[in-house]
Structure 1
């Protein structure tokens, strides 16, 4: 059983910890308080104000880039880097399928034409051939372009990345 001295030490330890917690809370409130100062006045938050233009003010909203324009100046070297996201499931060797079909010569190829790959059927309903425009739409949002596709990739939101990737893939067939 606990004697009186041990019990007093335990209670003293809890009270000391509570006192330190309350003093820390009080000190933090003094240092970082931003609000009513007790006189009914509100103080502005610390820092510098940032001017934000309201909708319709200032610069006009930038329209999304047109794929044809971006594709005309696409960089296949940059597309090779983007292909790193595809490399886990696709190969660039003709006839060598992986989780996904091989992508050698995919630009201009008929949909579902990679020999030896079992397609889901959703792509054939979406397009007849992999034109740059069809690839762009598919790569932006595969599940939205071809509902039911087995490709689980979320897509490439940046039009420049898609254009560069398609330019790279277009150069893989020779």
Structure 2
């Protein structure tokens, strides 16, 4: 069954497959070489991808909180509230988070029936517009240990608009 000719064919097929594999590997390495020795600096990079971290950073001019609040738009704040709606209600009922009607100038951790984490007391004693402004930027930084999972509102305009909307809700 296995004569010399069969063994020669099997060995030749194996050698041919190995040769094709090695040639393919060498070709791919030559086409898609990503670094290493032997190519020098002239092949270091084909193009530069600009990122936000490059270049000198210009700090935005600081605008005081009173000026920001004077330009706040409660109508735009209602649209921003859509991000809060998943966890907070404005009808006096608690959801995942406490209800937010009457939150402006309300004592922190004061909604009956809601189990607070206690971390919010680091923000202050009352939800003043200034405290809300700083808290809403990055809740996890303003109150480390808070159970609020929201990442925050980085834009000053969004925060003041939201605070203006929350002020209209009363208590």
Aligned to 1:88: 86
Further displaced range: 80-89 or 131-140? 80-89
How far 1:14 moved relative to its partner?
7.8
1:32-111 map, 5 Å: 32=32, 42-45=41-44, 47-48=46-47, 61-63=58-60, 65-66=62-63, 68=65, 69-93=67-91, 95-111=92-108
- The number of aligned residues is 166
Gapped regions of structure 2 (runs ≥ 5): none
1:5-16 map, 5 Å: 5=6, 9=10, 12=13, 15-16=16-17
How far 1:29 moved relative to its partner?
3.9
Aligned to 1:149: 146
Judged with a 3 Å threshold, the aligned counterparts in structure 2 of structure 1 residues 87 and 67 are, in CA distance, closer, same or farther, namely farther
Judged with a 3 Å threshold, the aligned counterparts in structure 2 of structure 1 residues 98 and 23 are, in CA distance, closer, same or farther, namely same
Aligned to 1:23: 23
SS at the partner of 2:42? coil
Give the distance between the partners of 1:23 and 1:73, measured in 2 at CA.
Answer: 69
Further displaced range: 81-90 or 64-73? 64-73
1:157-168 map, 5 Å: 157-168=154-165
Q: Do the aligned residues in 2 keep the contact of 1:67 with 1:159 (CA within 8 Å)?
A: no
Gapped regions of structure 1 (runs ≥ 5): none
How far 1:99 moved relative to its partner?
1.7
Judged with a 3 Å threshold, the aligned counterparts in structure 2 of structure 1 residues 88 and 21 are, in CA distance, closer, same or farther, namely farther
TM-score, normalised via structure 1 length: 0.66
CA RMSD of superposed structures (Å): 4.1
